[in-house]
A and B are shown apart, each in its own frame.
Chain A
Amino acid sequence: MAFTDNSDFYIALHEDGINTVVKHVMRQRPSLFNYGTALVQAKPDLLCEAIEAAPGVTQLITVQPPLPLLGANNFALNYCFQLTNLDIEFHPGNVITLPSELNPPLGAQHFAFRARACGGLGCPSKNDRPLFDGLFDLDRFILKQTFSPGSPSRSRRSNPVAVAQALPFSASQAAFQGRRLTGSGGTIQKLVPPISVFPPVIGTEVVDVPTTHVFPTRALSCFCLELLATGQGHITGPGGNQKINIELDDLEIVDLAPEGLENSLECYILLVANKVVLEQVNEAISNTLFSLIQLGGSGSLKLSASTAVPNNPAIEENQFKAFINLDEFSLDIPPIVVEEGGEEPEITNTERPRSSTGPFDLTAAISKESFIRFFESIRDNTTFDITVTPRAIIGDVVKAGARFVFHLDNGSINFGANNTIQINELDIKWDVLQVNLIIDLPKMCVPPFEICVPGLGCTPQVCVFEGENDIPFTLNIPAIFTSEVSIDLRPKVYYGISPAGNKWLIQLEPIGPVDIDIIDISDTIGDILDNAIQTAIDALGLPSVVDEILDAIIDTIRDLLDIGDDVQEWIKDLVFDILGVELGIDNLLFKFFTDEFKILDLADPVEVLEEDAPLIPVRIPIEFIAAKVNEHEMIIEADVEK
């Protein structure tokens, strides 16, 4: 049974792979999972759980405002919140132990989610509280300093010196919130409290809200909770308007008391997860997957979830599986011109064996029919251009060069059981078939050799042509060749090592020689050759009265080119053998399949989150990739590096 029996594409993510990726993200972008105040950022040893960060990470947490004291807006506490362990598991579920509240075992087509959440609060201890009583008193005193009606307008401001002196700690240790202004002298700092959001007490009077004081702390009071949840996923809606819906069914906070508190928190978290977090996730996935996907100006494709399978997505066999159909596909690429030569990139292709065992972290498949659609689109947009630079083909007297332009058409594609893709009888349709010949005419003298009479002497020779005489002529052969090519391909995976960065490559490589069959060359080629030679001779501008000289030139050209009676055979030999066009076609087809049909060209490691200074980019290393073909589909398997 093939993966793509009921869809064009198939993709399956193993829970181990997902969990490995999450661990990579947690190490490289810990600030997504760890939150706290500025004090915690400055003193990471205050965190409840140490963060294991990747080299280069400088920002461990996302800084949040301190936790305000309810009813006393100008007082706040330091805190931290951390998600330390995240695991997901797909049915059948044999790693995460579900509590009874979640009705174990994990149901079919369900996933389980486990997280450890830790929090810490910087609340002053019993011993430290008296030290802060003065601060509360000072604050209440400041608040009482308002003007009664009728008094002259004045505003009162906090006396920073008084506030600082009221505190057992220096002013710099207290986190004042507000603006500090340097005085005109440049040395005196005046504390300018923020403008109050409250309306003025009298007329234009402004009551300034005092700064927020955050209690310093030597340690946070930490606690950790374990969260467990189960959920499932569906694709809803008719074709063309489908949406994915992943949601949590139930959530359990382990061992939280009293029960009412636990239930309330669970309800709250479930609502946030389903209606806020997952809502956005589902929207993002649906928009990406099920709307028209533009291929960067090169075309578009439209996908839909297959409805021919009982469950889509299917959460089973420890994997999250999706079955996708290709509804529309158009390729609008500029003409591809495959030419010989070009600078070869500095990349060393190596082969990497698999070091892991067990199921792959990712399995993907493309059906044979879909592959054929892609192939036909690229084939129809590709032109092959071979330029053979002039080279000596007969000593130094005859040079030949050529230009051939062709495209491919028709042909049949089959996936073989032996990991091969067979392309048979692909027509080569010639667009330009031009051979350029340069004949270096030898000396032609009159008489052809010295003629002597004993006792009288010998005639000196006078030459019609002497020295280097290049006579060029071009054969524009009408595109009436009929050629076919058959080729077997095999998907080949390489790990490319390059100074510019390593990458995984999957390309189609020809197996064995490319079989080119030249079917027919019209016999009008003889006339074409005659005309070309005549044109070249006419270009010499020689008077036609001396036919013998011109005939001698023609004879010389024929002799030099070694044109026998069979002009068609001569052309075939010249074009495909002597000029190496057959080899050129081989090379171009090889290049075509390896470059244009690069199934995968993936940088390693794969960047999944961009750099956002000071946040480093998040990159996932890929340990292994394999590709193979069977009669139904092409399968790609991959492992993430642990």
Chain B
Amino acid sequence: MNAKANRYILTQASWDSGRLTPLASVMHRFQEPGQYQGIVLHGTETVGLFDLVVDEKSPEAQVNIDLEAVYQRRYAQTGGGNPFVVNPRQPTAFYVARGRGGYAVVVYRSDAGRRAAEFDSRELKDGDVFTLTPIRRGIYSATNKGAAKGEIQVQKRKGRSIPTQPVIIECTEKGFKPEKAKAEFSQPLFYVIKTPSRITIQLEQQPDDEPGSVRRRSTPRKKEAA
């Protein structure tokens, strides 16, 4: 058998916007054109570098940067490498496509050295977005910097229809709005950041019929169909 399954996705039960893992991402809009350099951190260790160019003339499309891929490359994309190029009107999304992840990303303007970070995923700011697509059913708790608390209930998909709209939750000084949200399997949650935030989410309770639940038959019978 030759099946490469991204197993970690299926067992994940907690997420942290400051330590990105699969199924979660942070989005930021770099509004000032120019050259930027990004550092990928795992804990305190730098594990990857990348170049980013914000160019008004570049296509109007979101750029997705896979931090795991950057880590796998393990060298700086300066002086001859291919930088990521994004339009200032479009967001740049940082995510982890596979593996265990646990990365943070900090982006500096190249000409400013590393004196001031333009973006630091360990503290999201107003205008940033944290997304999560939970696939395990159950009740999740959400916290913001350990203060604000919220709850998300992830349910089975209704029938075979796939949700096309995310659930949008605002992170404000007063907490999550709404505090309690419901989502279906593989329906994304968009946490829109309004106040400096670091969001953590934890699966607190699984449904009663897991594990060992009877899976439905894969093949209906003629009589059943009749």
Contacts and interface: CB of A to CB of B under 8 A. Distances in A.
A471 B97 contact: no
B182 interface: no
Interface string B68-108: 00000000000000000000000101011110000000000
Interface in B157-200: 157, 160, 162-166, 168, 185-188, 190, 192
B215 interface: yes
A511 to B, nearest CB: 38
Contact of A460 (B25, B164, B210): B25
A465 B7 CA distance: 9
B40 interface: no
Contacts of A550: 215
Interface string A443-483: 00011110101001111101111111111100000000000
A529 B185 contact: no
Interface in B99-155: 129, 131, 133, 135-137
A460 B220 CA distance: 35
Contacts of B23: 446, 462
Nearest to A467: B4
Contacts of A534: 215, 218
A447 B222 contact: no
Interface residues of A, number: 51
A540 B215 contact: no
A543 B10 contact: yes
B133 A459 contact: yes
A550 to B, nearest CB: 7
Given A447-B162, A541-B5, A558-B218, 20 more contacts: A447-B186, A451-B166, A457-B27, A457-B129, A459-B190, A460-B66, A462-B23, A464-B10, A465-B4, A465-B5, A465-B6, A470-B1, A523-B222, A526-B219, A541-B7, A544-B211, A545-B206, A548-B135, A550-B215, A551-B216
A542 interface: yes
Interface of A: 441, 446-449, 451, 453, 456-460, 462-472, 523, 526, 529-530, 533-534, 539-551, 554-555, 557-558, 563, 565-568
Contact of A446 (B135, B165, B225): B135
B222 A546 contact: no
Given A447-B188, A459-B188, A465-B4, A555 B160 contact: yes
Contact of B219 (A456, A470, A530, A539): A530
B217 interface: yes
Contact of B133 (A462, A469, A568): A462
A551 B222 CA distance: 20
Interface of B: 1-7, 9-11, 22-23, 25, 27, 62, 64, 66, 91, 93, 95-98, 129, 131, 133, 135-137, 156-157, 160, 162-166, 168, 185-188, 190, 192, 206, 210-213, 215-222, 224-225
Nearest to B184: A548
A453 B170 CA distance: 14
25 contacts: A446-B133, A447-B186, A447-B187, A448-B162, A456-B192, A457-B62, A459-B133, A464-B9, A465-B4, A466-B6, A469-B3, A469-B4, A470-B1, A471-B3, A533-B218, A539-B1, A540-B3, A543-B10, A544-B211, A545-B136, A546-B10, A548-B156, A548-B185, A554-B215, A558-B218
A449 B7 CA distance: 19
A567 B218 CA distance: 11
Nearest to A463: B6
B186 A446 contact: yes
Contacts of B96: 462
A249 B79 CA distance: 119
A472 B1 contact: yes
B165 A451 contact: yes
Contacts of A451: 163-166, 188
A155 to B, nearest CB: 99
A297 B120 CA distance: 87
B136 A441 contact: no
B93 A456 contact: no
Nearest to A546: B10
Given A447-B187, A523-B221, A548-B156, A457 B9 contact: no
Chain A facing B: main interface SS: mixed
Nearest to B11: A543
A54 B109 CA distance: 106
A428 B136 CA distance: 50
Contacts of B156: 548
Contacts of B216: 551
Contacts of B62: 457-458
B221 A526 contact: yes
Contact of A469 (B2, B7, B219): B2
B87 to A, nearest CB: 13
A565 B222 contact: yes
A555 B27 CA distance: 33
Given A447-B133, A549-B135, A542 B10 contact: yes
B6 A456 contact: no
Contacts of B27: 456-457
8 smallest CB-CB distances across A and B, nearest first, come from A565-B225, A457-B91, A457-B27, A460-B95, A469-B3, A554-B218, A470-B2, A460-B64
B199 to A, nearest CB: 15
Given A441-B3, A457-B129, A530 B218 contact: yes
A446 to B, nearest CB: 5
A250 to B, nearest CB: 87
Contacts of B218: 529-530, 533-534, 554, 557-558
Contacts of A567: 219, 221-222
Contacts of A547: 210, 213, 215
A460 B131 CA distance: 9
A459 B129 CA distance: 10
A398 B225 CA distance: 25
A470 B66 CA distance: 26
A530 B162 CA distance: 25
A160 to B, nearest CB: 95
Nearest to A548: B185
Contacts of A558: 218-219
A553 to B, nearest CB: 9
Nearest to B192: A456
B3 to A, nearest CB: 4
Nearest to B10: A546
Contacts of A523: 221-222
- Of B25, B166, B219, B221, most buried by chain A (CB within 10 Å of CB) is B219
A274 to B, nearest CB: 82
Contacts of A471: 1, 3
Contacts of B9: 446, 462, 464
A542 B7 contact: yes
B159 to A, nearest CB: 12
Nearest to B22: A462
Contacts of B2: 468-470
Contacts of B215: 534, 547, 550-551, 554
Nearest to A448: B162
Contact of B95 (A462, A470, A555): A462
